Amino acid sequence: MEFLSSMELFVEVAKAKGFRRAAETLGMPNSTLSRRIAELEKRVGVRLLHRSTRRVELTEAGQAYFRRCEGIVAEARVAHESLLELAERPSGVVRVSMPVDLAISYLAPAIQAFGERYPLIDFEMDLTSRRVDLVSDGFDCAIRMGAPPPTPSTLIARPIGLLPRYLYASPGYLQTAPPLHHPHDLAQHQCLVQAAVRQASQWTLSAGTETISVPVTGRYTANNVGMCQAMARLGMGIAVSAGPDAGDDLKTGRLQRVLPGWSVASIPVYAILESRLIPSRVRLFIDCISAHLRGHA
């Protein structure tokens, strides 16, 4: 067990590329960690790390040893946590990065239900669409929307859901706007475009086997679906929405669906993982939100 523990310490140092950051992650003194790694090197009989005042790098032997140790340590953690799962008491912290719109509009109820079911699991949620480094930033997983994100060979993009999308506008906007019977009519309308910057945009709509891509324009561009939906409620144009909030607006009459026979291309959702060997608390969390997203689809 002591040998396996030393391998775990070595893996953390290799990932952090330094003793100080690894010691903070492990919650142990830097001097103790350095001594344990030195003892490991003495035991295996080779130098595993190049040490300097600025950084720590793996030797050639260290790289080969790290590749083996990483899998062994991950397997050991999964085996250990599977026992906790059998006891129905998975615990620890789930650190996840998620887009703001997806988290607020879709996942909050799933997170609530998951938290109630597993009271020993805590959460740290970073609500952002920025690309994060799962290893150096310390995340267990990242949830992302859209086309499959480019991932290094060390990461895995697991599809977990599809979000259907439709067009909505307020009754007040539709009373004074031009007729809207076919996707091509969108060219005569104010469309609320979701994008980071103003640019030529088009919406792809489908009805049965027919698919049409139409260019859209409008005075307002925003990089947030919630803002586009809020502007639609105010009668400022037509918005694409996939969130449950649109259903609430339909019930209250603040929005109504336009071109009801047509839908906008669905958005895929992915969980980005460092490895297929993930802690049980992370696997259970991803399974929970995947089931929740399937319910919306």
pLDDT, average across residues 65-71:
86
Same domain assignment for residues 35 and 67? yes
- Mean pLDDT on 84-101: 79
d(CA 230, CA 244) in angstroms, rounded, equals 14
Domain encompassing residue 158? 91-297
CA nearest to 203, candidates 193, 159, 46: 193
Q: How many Cβ atoms are within 10 Å of 180's Cβ, its own excluded?
A: 17
Which range, of 7-11, 144-148, 241-245, 275-279, averages the lowest pLDDT? Answer: 241-245
- Which of 94-98, 160-164, 196-200, 262-266 has the lowest average pLDDT? 196-200
Residue 244: pLDDT band (50, 70, 90) is low
Does 82 lie in the same domain as 98?
no
The residue that leads in pLDDT, 140 or 151, is 140
Please say if the pLDDT value at position 183 is more than 60: yes
Average pLDDT, integer, range 44-51 = 87
197 pLDDT higher than 90 = no
Domain edge (last residue) among 86, 113, 131:
86
67: its two tokens? 């590749």
Q: Which of 55-64, 76-85, 175-184, 228-237 has the lowest mean pLDDT?
A: 76-85
Return d(Cα 154, Cα 98) in angstroms, integer.
Answer: 20
Assign 69 a pLDDT band (cuts: 50, 70, 90).
confident
Average pLDDT over the chain, rounded to an integer: 85
Let me know whether 42 and 187 are in one domain: no
Q: Which among 54, 86, 118 is the end of a domain?
A: 86
Number of Cβ within a 10 Å radius of residue 128:
13
Same domain, 96 and 235: yes
The DSSP code for 149 is P
CA distance 246 to 79: 43
Assess whether 68 and 136 both reside in one domain. no
Torsion angle defined by CA atoms of residues 107, 109, 114 and 119, in that order, rounded to the nearest 10 degrees: 120
Mean predicted confidence (pLDDT) in 48-73 = 85
Q: What is the CATH classification number for the domain harbouring 36?
A: 1.10.10.10
Question: Per-residue pLDDT for 83 more than 70?
Answer: no
Q: What total number of domains does the chain contain?
A: 2
pLDDT of residue 81 exceeding 80 = no
| CA 26, 30, 34, 36 torsion-angle sign | negative
My answer on whether 151 and 239 are in the same domain is yes
SS3 88: coil
Percent of all residues in the chain with a pLDDT value above 70, rounded to a whole number: 90
Average pLDDT for 88-95: 83
201 and 121 together in one domain: yes
pLDDT given for residue 88 in this prediction? 58
Strand ranges inside the chain, DSSP E: 49-51, 56-58, 92-98, 121-127, 141-145, 156-169, 191-194, 201-207, 210-216, 221-222, 238-241, 256-258, 263-273
Domain CATH number, residue 254: 3.40.190.290
Residue 149: phi, psi to the nearest 5? -70, 145
Q: Are residues 191 and 271 in the same domain?
A: yes
Residue 138 predicted with pLDDT over 60 = yes
pLDDT tens-digit readout, 6-43: 888 888 888 888 888 888 888 888 888 888 988 888 88
Average pLDDT over residues 218-230: 88
C-alpha–C-alpha distance, residues 206 and 160, integer Å: 22
Mean pLDDT of 92-103: 89
> How far apart are the C-alpha atoms of 56 and 49, rounded to whole Å?
7
Domain C-terminal end among 36, 67, 86: 86
Burial (CB < 10 A; 0-12, 13-18, 19+), residue 283, is buried
Q: What band does 171 get if pLDDT is binned at 50, 70 and 90?
A: very high
86 pLDDT more than 60: no
Residues 170, 255, single domain; the answer is: yes
Q: Per mean pLDDT, which range of 30-39, 259-268, 272-281 is the poorest?
A: 272-281
Q: Are residues 48 and 100 in the same domain?
A: no
Q: What residues contact residue 27 under an 8 Å CB cut-off, 6+ apart? A: none
Same domain flag for 72 and 100? no
Is the pLDDT at 248 greater than 90, yes or no? no
Band of residue 237 on the pLDDT scale cut at 50, 70, 90? very high
The answer to whether residues 49 and 43 touch, using CB atoms and an 8 Å cutoff, is no
CA dist 96 and 141 (Å) reads 5
In order, the DSSP letters of 12-33 are HHHHHTSHHHHHHHHTS-HHHH
Separation between Cα atoms, residue 13 and residue 30, nearest integer Å = 11
Q: Is a pLDDT exceeding 80 seen at residue 291?
A: yes
Residues 186, 72 share a domain: no
